[in-house]
Amino acid sequence: MGRLTTHVLDTAQGRPGKGIRIEVYRLEGEGRTRLKEVVTNDDGRCDAPILEDESLVVGEYELVFHAGDYLRAQGVEASEPRFLDVIPLRFGVADADAHYHVPLLLSPYGYSTYRGS
């Protein structure tokens, strides 16, 4: 069955992004529905798939990473407002039976993502 996972790596500090709050939304037209909220563990991952089985359906989704809160907690000095605070990542699920891994590589002034495995 399909599943959605993520992994946050703090590339500036060379370690997992621990304790990052992530909101999960399903997008429908101009609207979005909040499905859940998760927090990354010590390894920068979630303890279980974010969505799986019948909760993952074909469609568009958004993961909202609260990176600014994490960076503040890490003591990363930056001007306010921060260059990066809340990072929304929108992506599509075309095969609800597949594994969609959406990692975030994070630093105070940049981020990247890709479809992982």
Alpha carbon distance 42, 15 (integer Å): 10
Is 7 flagged in the annotation as binding?
yes
Complete DSSP assignment for 22-58: EEEEEEETTEEEEEEEEE--TTSB-SS-SEEGGG--S
Is 32 flagged in the annotation as binding?
no
Is 45 flagged in the annotation as binding?
yes
**Exposed/middle/buried for residue 69 (C-beta within 10 Å: 0-12, 13-18, 19+):** middle
Binding site: residue ranges? 7, 45, 114
Binding site for substrate: residue ranges? 7, 45, 114
